[in-house]
Chains A and B, each alone.
Chain A
Amino acid sequence: MAEPKTKYDRQLRIWGEQGQTALEKASICLLNCGPTGSETLKNLVLGGVGSITVIDGSKVEPGDLGNNFMVDESSVGKSKAKCVCQFLQELNDAVKAKFIEEYPEVLIETNPSFFSQFTLVVATQLGESSMVKLDRICREANVILIFARSYGLTGLSVSEHTVIESKPEHFLDDLRLNNPWLELKRYAETIDLDVSDPVAHKHTPYVLILVKMAEEWAKNHDGKLPSTREEKKEFKELIKARMTALDEDNYKEAIEASFKVFTPRGISSDLQQVIGDSCVEIDSSSSDFWVMVAALKEFIENEGGGEAPLEGSIPDMTSSTEHYISLQKLYQAKAEADYLVIEQRVRTTLKKIGRDPNSISKTTIKSFCKNARKLKVCRYRLVEDEFNSPTVPELQKYLTDEDYSVASMFYVLLRAVDRFAANYNSFPGQFDGLMDEDISRLKTTAVGLLNDVGCNGVTLTEDLINEMCRFGAAELHAVAAFIGGIASQEVIKLITRQFVPLSGTFVFNGIDHKSQLLSL
């Protein structure tokens, strides 16, 4: 293995060493290795996941050569799982690649405990009844599950898991200008905003300008910060009045950032929800994540004074080098202090529930603290629940909305083709010659499905029903590569835990690309 750091350079710049380590520890199981599954794994093998296990019971047919890059002429008649696995191994020898020649449906039926060994299962081209069963199995075993399906010019991708902790990027910086701590206030006191040296005046960072101006304001307003529209306007005018020259970028930045002073104190509603979750009542079976949330909750209620731990970094801003570096140190010191308190609380908590107090590493706690403000918990419905009782008003709304109608009709039709297949042992339009019959059968099936879930009075367009039969369950390479690409990206998000995974069902619309995310 040559220079993994160089090889992974372009992705390390996105998810860092920590994300890469998480990927390298992950074991991924793929069900069915047609093009959708093969393409999903290809992207993950390139990125360096720990291990893959390919499960497929079929043999390679000539037709597979037309849509799957991982098989070639010499593969015809051989195990598809074996051929695909072999090619994938070629892409990255750091990945442990295994295959099992077996139909996923059989494994789901006969050996459910098999799946508990994996970090994540990607199930492709799986019918409705197997999806429902697999979802239950994976939830029980706490294994993340992703469904991906390509079907003609449509398809879908769904992730299933009980709880996902996510940390969205692109969050507003954490400057605490609405609630500065003691050391920051003290530092601001050493600054004279009306310094006569013009160079010093135009290099006072906006953070300090705002801290001082907010303090002044509060003094004249019973300790309160600007809140009404007039007050906010007045506050900005006051900042403007302190400018001594037109080219003072630092004051312009202060006016632009003044909203950071107006933002209400305390934690976001998302975070409120996280610390109010019933999982915060921890016991010896709680996951590391919830142990840390419990510590976070205590911190917010005690030392934090209603605030989450400080993130510790500041954005670039117009400033003298000296002020900027002093500020950087102040923020870092506060973040470190907050972290130490939380670490202590985590250790105590672990001890209390009978675990090794050092069983959660410093790095993990540090990263948790850095992202604490952004925590979000997504809970997913059981596939079975969504299938049997989708949120009907939502579905009805989607089906009649101009932007959503095609994607949501595809969703209904994708479910209808599975019912169709269960009834007639083939997919609509799978074979030539039965087209007209299949079209009317599919229509009846889809209408029946809508009635069963209680969604009445919506009609699916004839054009789309025809189109679905025309697709005849074809797995087109380009569509499979798209859906597989999305599935692999979701895998990466779920494993690195640095980004927000999609919630709901992503329905691909390959006709005009007006794809949609549905939550039902």
Chain B
Amino acid sequence: MAPPSTAEDSRSRDLDKLLLRAGNLVGPTFEPGPGLRDDLKEYARVLVVGAGGLGCELLKDLALSGFRELEVIDMDRIEVSNLNRQFLFRLEDVGKPKAEVAAKRVMERVSGVNIVPHFCRIEDKELEFYSDFSIIVLGLDSIEARSYINSVACSFLEYNSDDSPQEETIKPMVDGGTEGFQGHARVIMPGVTPCFECTIWLFPPQVKFPLCTLAETPRTAAHCIEYAHLIKWDEVHSGKAFDPDDPEHMKWVYDEATKRAELFGIPGVTYSLTQGVVKNIIPAIASTNAIISAACALETLKIASGCSKTLSNYLTYNGAAGLHTKVTEFVRDKDCIECGPGVLVQLDTSITLQEFIDLLEEHPKLLLSKASISHRGKNLYMQAPPVLEEMTRSNLSVPLFELMGKVAKDVVHASGTTTKNDKKTSCLRKLRVIFEGVDGITDMDTAGEA
């Protein structure tokens, strides 16, 4: 082979070894050659969700792993406490949107890379936005946000009549997470490997202190802080919501906690601890983020190019005592509400869209309130924004059967809110709607449904 002829070519000097050379331990779709390198640049579109500790690393890693078309979404602004690990941000950036600064910094240093930032909530984007990407990479610190993106990616999944997932509808996700010296990286192929919901038990809800301990027998500094935060605040500020980002509020909680601690003779209330307890701050360091992001970026490259086998399917890392890494092959939950074929809803052809929306609120498997409904990318009814609500409002009185083009069965998407662990969360559900008494329905469609 001829030596690299342009600066452009020699830039991928190291990556070329993997992308241009054949190998035996590679993915089933691997076709080495310059074409693969070009395809990665032109056609592989990767979305990075989160521009924090993991997101900054991911953008850098992906930009230096042959990807050219990247987008990043994050609703947060830069804070001083980000600077110990979010290396794309400087002191003068504090207050600016993370997504925008991160995209700009990486583009400045890696020429040819195009990164589109989205400074908004993940729920603000329509389904279509997410369907555009080849791979979605998650650098998040919240279970709710992971759950939401997971439901979005799973909503694209369609099944063949033999219950096998349709290859082209699989939206791969790569997910990373860290806490202190520990972290995980995982690959999710909806319909093939377990999705986030299949293994939700890996993320148990946080244990809270019993209220009677806070009120009657406080023993630790955290008890005093939570008493001030959860009980005293409401007693004193009738109706005014506590805002953890308001320094005045935080100071008030700290002062109250200090008083209570003095009363009971409990040591250890500090301002830093107050913030930690109230905001549930997770300690975070640069090295763990770097390790986990690197593993995620490498898997993204392997999924996109096939240049090596992929992680199957969950990597845990623990560096606090020695160094332990472990790969676990989790299995899918066949009855998963997210990555399964969808929740079956049998309807009469006369049911209107409004009646359908009401029904979703009562449905025991869904309990979905204020749902917006879409069918094959078309909005049937949108709760927000007001313009779209007005545009789609007239559909509410129309039978769903007609709105769906009088097909016997099809998939619709419903997004709304549901209550999980006493917390309202956004969620998206895939529904397999079947109309009763319409031709073309076989027994198989309803088989296996409880």
Residues of A within 8 A of B (CB): 2-3, 6-14, 35, 39, 42-43, 46-48, 61-63, 65-69, 72-73, 90-92, 152-153, 168-170, 203, 316-321, 324-325, 328, 429, 432-433, 435, 462-464, 466-467, 470-472, 474-482, 484-486, 488-490, 492-493, 499-503, 506, 510-515, 517
Q: Say yes or no for B357: interface residue by CB 8 A criterion.
A: no
Is B23 a contact of A63 with CB atoms below 8 Å? Answer: no
**Chain B residues near A61 (CB-CB < 8 A):** 10
Give me the 3 closest cross-chain CB pairs, A-B, nearest first. Answer: A63-B13, A485-B290, A485-B291
Is B17 a contact of A471 with CB atoms below 8 Å? Answer: yes
**Chain A residues near B327 (CB-CB < 8 A):** 512-514
**Chain A residues near B15 (CB-CB < 8 A):** 66-67, 474, 476
- A163-B289 Cα distance, complex, nearest whole Å: 29
- A66-B41 Cα distance, complex, nearest whole Å: 13
Query: Given A47-B84, A62-B10, A325-B265: A14 and B64 within 8 A (CB)?
Result: no
B414 to chain A, nearest CB (A): 37
- A152-B87 Cα distance, complex, nearest whole Å: 25
Give the nearest-CB partner of B307 in chain A: A153
Q: Which of B65, B85, B325 contacts A478 (CB 8 A)?
A: B65
B108-136 residues with Cβ-Cβ distance < 8 A to A are 108-111
Query: Given A63-B11, A511-B25, A517-B322: A433 and B1 within 8 A (CB)?
Result: yes
Give the nearest-CB partner of B291 in chain A: A485
Quick check: which of B143-151, B212-220, B238-246, B439-447 contacts chain A, the rest being far away?
Answer: B212-220
B299-337 residues with Cβ-Cβ distance < 8 A to A are 301, 308-312, 315, 319-325, 327
Is B25 a contact of A463 with CB atoms below 8 Å? Answer: yes
- A484-B311 Cα distance, complex, nearest whole Å: 20
* Additional pairs, 15, CB under 8 Å, beyond known A467-B25, A482-B294: A9-B81, A10-B81, A11-B285, A12-B272, A42-B286, A47-B286, A63-B11, A170-B320, A471-B18, A481-B293, A481-B297, A511-B309, A513-B325, A517-B322, A517-B323
Give the nearest-CB partner of A483 in chain B: B294
Query: Given A2-B80, A10-B84: A486 and B286 within 8 A (CB)?
Result: no
Is B294 a contact of A479 with CB atoms below 8 Å? Answer: yes
- A429-B323 Cα distance, complex, nearest whole Å: 31
B84 to chain A, nearest CB (A): 5
B426 to chain A, nearest CB (A): 27
Q: Say yes or no for B7: interface residue by CB 8 A criterion.
A: yes
Is B308 a contact of A14 with CB atoms below 8 Å? Answer: no
Q: Say yes or no for B433: interface residue by CB 8 A criterion.
A: no
**Chain A residues near B289 (CB-CB < 8 A):** 485
B260-291 residues with Cβ-Cβ distance < 8 A to A are 264-267, 272, 276, 281-291
- A493-B287 Cα distance, complex, nearest whole Å: 11
**Chain B residues near A67 (CB-CB < 8 A):** 13-15, 64
- A490-B321 Cα distance, complex, nearest whole Å: 11
**Chain B residues near A152 (CB-CB < 8 A):** 17-18
B87 to chain A, nearest CB (A): 6
Question: Could you tell me how many residues of chain B have their Cβ less than 8 Å away from some Cβ of chain A?
Answer: 77
Is A203 a contact of B217 with CB atoms below 8 Å? Answer: yes
Query: Given A46-B87, A466-B23, A512-B327: A3 and B80 within 8 A (CB)?
Result: yes
**Chain A residues near B110 (CB-CB < 8 A):** 65, 69, 72
20 interchain pairs (CB within 8 A)? Answer: A7-B84, A10-B283, A13-B276, A14-B285, A62-B7, A67-B64, A72-B109, A152-B17, A328-B267, A477-B61, A479-B294, A481-B290, A485-B287, A500-B321, A501-B322, A503-B322, A510-B298, A511-B25, A513-B325, A513-B327
Is A325 a contact of B264 with CB atoms below 8 Å? Answer: yes
- A76-B1 Cα distance, complex, nearest whole Å: 25
Q: Which of B91, B181, B295 contacts A499 (CB 8 A)?
A: B181
**Chain B residues near A12 (CB-CB < 8 A):** 272
**Chain A residues near B421 (CB-CB < 8 A):** none
Q: Say yes or no for B83: interface residue by CB 8 A criterion.
A: yes
What does the 1/0 interface line of B78-110 toward A look like (CB < 8 Å)? Answer: 001101110100110000000000000000111
B297 to chain A, nearest CB (A): 5
Q: Say yes or no for B161: interface residue by CB 8 A criterion.
A: no
Q: Say yes or no for B383: interface residue by CB 8 A criterion.
A: no
- A61-B9 Cα distance, complex, nearest whole Å: 12
- A325-B267 Cα distance, complex, nearest whole Å: 9
**Chain A residues near B413 (CB-CB < 8 A):** none
**Chain B residues near A7 (CB-CB < 8 A):** 80-81, 83-84
Q: Say yes or no for B24: interface residue by CB 8 A criterion.
A: yes
Is A475 a contact of B320 with CB atoms below 8 Å? Answer: no
Is A10 a contact of B61 with CB atoms below 8 Å? Answer: no
Is A489 a contact of B181 with CB atoms below 8 Å? Answer: yes
Query: Given A46-B85, A321-B217, A481-B297: A463 and B24 within 8 A (CB)?
Result: yes
**Chain A residues near B319 (CB-CB < 8 A):** 486, 489, 493, 499, 502
**Chain A residues near B220 (CB-CB < 8 A):** 316
Is A46 a contact of B14 with CB atoms below 8 Å? Answer: no
- A485-B87 Cα distance, complex, nearest whole Å: 13
**Chain B residues near A512 (CB-CB < 8 A):** 309-312, 327
Query: Given A69-B110, A319-B217: A11 and B276 within 8 A (CB)?
Result: no
Query: Given A66-B13, A474-B18, A481-B57: A506 and B323 within 8 A (CB)?
Result: yes
B328 to chain A, nearest CB (A): 11
- A279-B16 Cα distance, complex, nearest whole Å: 52
Is B266 a contact of A321 with CB atoms below 8 Å? Answer: yes
- A511-B24 Cα distance, complex, nearest whole Å: 11
**Chain B residues near A477 (CB-CB < 8 A):** 14, 61, 64-65, 297
Q: Which of B23, B217, B310 contacts A470 (CB 8 A)?
A: B23
Query: Given A476-B18, A478-B298: A485 and B84 within 8 A (CB)?
Result: no
Is A48 a contact of B84 with CB atoms below 8 Å? Answer: yes
Name the residue in A8, A433, A475, A485 with the highest tally of chain B Cβ atoms < 10 Å from its Cβ.
A485
Is B84 a contact of A489 with CB atoms below 8 Å? Answer: no
